[in-house]
A and B are shown apart, each in its own frame.
Chain A
Amino acid sequence: MKLNRRAFVGTGIAAATLSAPMVHAASHGKPKVVVVGGGAGGATAARYLAKDSAGEIDVTLIEPTRSYYTCFFSNLYLGGFWDLENLSHSYGKLASDYGINVVHDWATGVDRDAKTVALAGGGSVPYDRLILSPGIDFVEGSVPGWDLSAQNAMPHAYKGGSQTELLKAQIMAMPEGGTYVMVAPPNPYRCPPGPYERISMVAHQLKMNNPTAKIIIADPKESFSKQALFEEGWQKHYSGMITRIGPDFGGGNVTVDPEAMTVDVDGELIQADVVNVIPAQKAGLICDAAGLTEGNWAPVDGASMVSRLDENIHILGDATNQGDMPKSGFSANSQAKVAAMAVRGALTGSRVFPAKYSNTCWSLIATDDGVKVGAAYEPNEEKIASVSSFVSQTGEDAALRKATYEESIGWYEGITSDMFG
């Protein structure tokens, strides 16, 4: 690497401004940035690059789906608080208002020497800088008896869209007094409070439509995000409905049978009506295909989200191993802005400032009962480190909880317009 990014940013704004290099060779027209994945990381990075470079950079966004369904807020759809169509977003403005070349195709591999991305539909796209934001895939065999062919019988609903719809339909079709089982994932995974917000929303839905139904969580983790807040809320709103089996009682020792619709928790067989299997997770497949992973995740340098294994590739969001930030849409959006600034600086000589990151995760427990957790982060030599944090308190009054929920709706509108224009 010609330039030590960490030392470079560490010298401060003034030095960064003076020494911002023109790395890009002008031999083949405008510099090209390819972004793989059009979620909270990729769409934001593409939009900021196109917007801030004002035509100086060619931006291509590769994303297989034409309508993006956010994973965040999909639990509210399960609970009946949010419409499916309000989870869906189009890439139209990124193309029409920002001039981004939106390619609806699968990126299947990266030739890091030739600096090209291969597409499932044939052909390849060249890049000067590549940004990968592929989200998660599942670790095969992490829940014995389950694989992707079983995702209709036992949905994960941990990627937005059809799986979310399927799970909702199954919940609504549960027989009176039926049983919903969630197989919760081990750390680290996308959206730490997500499974527990989902439990809250399923409980809300069942309380309205099927109040004698039961919810069982088989959980391999000792503790989980916002645990005190969720448990307080479950006791208050859904008393007697939810049972969580933690690792001490075999919650980590689970086998499923999608044909029989049974879940074996440490030798005890549960006959279920809905089984929501959220498997262990790893970086989106393309990271592995491109040789950018160590273990299950892609290591990055928090100063600019550049891969620790390739100086021309930045990686964002859930797929990364970066340090303290949770895998969340908010985090990916925050990381995208730092990466876009760094890439633009490298390709056009624009000013580069020290990275700052933040995250807030809102969760809805019941009607107008919202809570949140968040932190601010800055990179150091080792990792992206938390510098301050907060979490909602148990026993907060109803007005504050309602305001928190309304704030989360404001955030949803804010981040989706920050992603899609």
Chain B
Amino acid sequence: MSKSSGLFISVLGGAALVLGVAYGWTSRDYRAAELAVLTDRLAQLEHSNDDLARRADQAFDLEARLATLEADLAAARQAVEDAKQAASQPVAAVADPVQQPEPDPVIADATGLEFGDPSRGEQVFAQCRSCHQIGQGAEDRIGPHLNGIFGRRAGAHDGFRYSDDMAMMGADGLTWEIETLNAYLENPKALVSRTRMNFAGLDDPQERSDILAYLRQFSASPQNIPEAAPTAQAREVELSPEVLAIVGDTDYGEYLASECKTCHQQDGSDRGIPSITQWPTEDFVVAMHAYKRQIRPHPVMQMMASRLSDEEIAALAAYFAKAE
């Protein structure tokens, strides 16, 4: 019996008692009802007992895992210290990636992570561009810009509204380094469980190390972001200034949005289907036009976008930008 159904039955039993009194039951009826309540309570207690035993087992397992992880962490820290002392110079200042196409050979920590090939990483990064800008002039969009990401504390970039979990992880000390970024890229929700980043993760270690090499170019000396970097403003679809300038009708947007909300949950939950609440207007408009022109691949979204006019897309964007 589940906890809630046990509770439910005991509430029923209690109600039966009250009703019993109200309808003048005999004392035998009353005792029978009382017995039923007590039997249910016993069942509940037995259930809680099982539950406690199970949790104790889980706690034991977790403690053991924690001890292992702490040992690994200590070893990793030591290795980083060793590596720092061994290096006579700070790790490769990558002022101009075009002139330094060689993969960075420095092993960053004891886990054996290496930076891969930044030019391949740039290609892998294409899938990140719909949310993240990087390079000269990069701005926060759906996600924060990624200039200077290495060494930055998680959730701490001013002016960007992070998920509560991301902000909390940062406050708890999470800092973006090769190993933490590698873990985050592999499975974002495993590291930051309720992050708003709608990304399933990169399974391929090579792709991760390539993308980290690409990102790192924009971090080694954040004051000197390479001129030659790809422009941060490239849009997925070219839209005329007139289309971008349409001011959406939020009432109409609210009605149209009701269709989106069958799948996209307003409260920001994003299991299996991304959250679109509070997306910046322009990103929303660009994304919908990209679906409409079948540049973005998802068949449901292509279908939904295909019948929306420019005004309707603007109306939806206006509504979702402000949706709570």
Contact = CB atoms under 8 A, between A and B. Distances in A.
Interface of A: 13, 48, 85, 330, 333-334, 337, 341, 351, 353, 356, 358, 360, 372, 374-376, 378, 387-390, 403, 406-411, 413-415, 417-418
B27 interface: no
A415 B303 contact: no
A360 B261 contact: no
Nearest to A389: B303
B300 A390 contact: yes
B262 A414 contact: yes
Contacts of B264: 414
Interface string B252-264: 1001101101111
Contacts of B90: none
A325 to B, nearest CB: 13
Closest 9 CB pairs of A and B: A410-B272, A410-B273, A406-B272, A390-B299, A337-B258, A414-B263, A407-B272, A409-B272, A353-B255
Given A353-B255, A406-B271, A414-B262, 6 more contacts: A330-B262, A374-B303, A375-B303, A410-B270, A411-B262, A417-B265
A129 B2 CA distance: 41
Nearest to B2: A85
Contacts of B299: 372, 374, 390
Contact of B200 (A389, A403, A417): A403
A358 B259 contact: yes
Nearest to A350: B251
Interface residues of B, number: 27
B303 A407 contact: no
B295 interface: no
Contact of A411 (B255, B263, B270): B263
A418 B271 contact: no
B307 A376 contact: yes
A334 B262 contact: yes
A360 B2 CA distance: 33
A360 B300 contact: yes
- From A356, A414, A415, A418, name the one whose CB has the most chain B CB atoms within 10 angstroms: A414
Contact of A372 (B259, B261, B300, B302): B300
Contacts of B251: 351
Contacts of A406: 271-272
Nearest to A329: B262
A353 B319 CA distance: 15
Nearest to B267: A417
Contacts, number: 84
B304 interface: yes
B271 A410 contact: yes
Contacts of B255: 337, 341, 351, 353
B253 to A, nearest CB: 10
11 contacts: A85-B4, A353-B255, A358-B262, A376-B303, A376-B304, A387-B307, A390-B300, A408-B272, A413-B265, A414-B263, A418-B261
Contacts of B4: 85
Contacts of A333: 262
B69 to A, nearest CB: 28
A333 B4 CA distance: 29
B249 to A, nearest CB: 8
B271 A413 contact: yes
Contacts of A390: 299-300, 302-303
Nearest to A419: B262
B306 interface: yes
A366 to B, nearest CB: 18
Contacts of B300: 360, 372, 374, 390
Interface in B238-286: 251-252, 255-256, 258-259, 261-265, 267, 269-273
A333 B262 CA distance: 8
B323 to A, nearest CB: 13
A215 B214 CA distance: 54
Contacts of B258: 48, 337
A388 B265 contact: no
Nearest to A402: B200
Contacts of A378: 307
A88 to B, nearest CB: 10
Nearest to A375: B303
Contacts of A351: 251-252, 255
Nearest to A390: B299
A277 B322 CA distance: 49
B303 A414 contact: no
Contacts of B252: 13, 351, 353
Contacts of A387: 307
A378 B299 CA distance: 18
A356 B271 CA distance: 26
A417 B267 CA distance: 10
A403 B298 CA distance: 11
A358 B272 contact: no
A330 B258 CA distance: 12
A278 to B, nearest CB: 26
B126 to A, nearest CB: 17
Contacts of B307: 356, 376, 378, 387-388
B307 to A, nearest CB: 6
Contacts of B271: 406, 409-410, 413
A337 B258 CA distance: 7
A417 B273 CA distance: 14
Contacts of A410: 263, 265, 270-273
Contacts of B302: 390
A360 B303 CA distance: 11
Interface string B67-91: 0000000000000000000000000
Contacts of B272: 403, 406-411, 413
B32 to A, nearest CB: 25
Contacts of A374: 299-300, 303
Interface in B277-324: 299-300, 302-304, 306-307
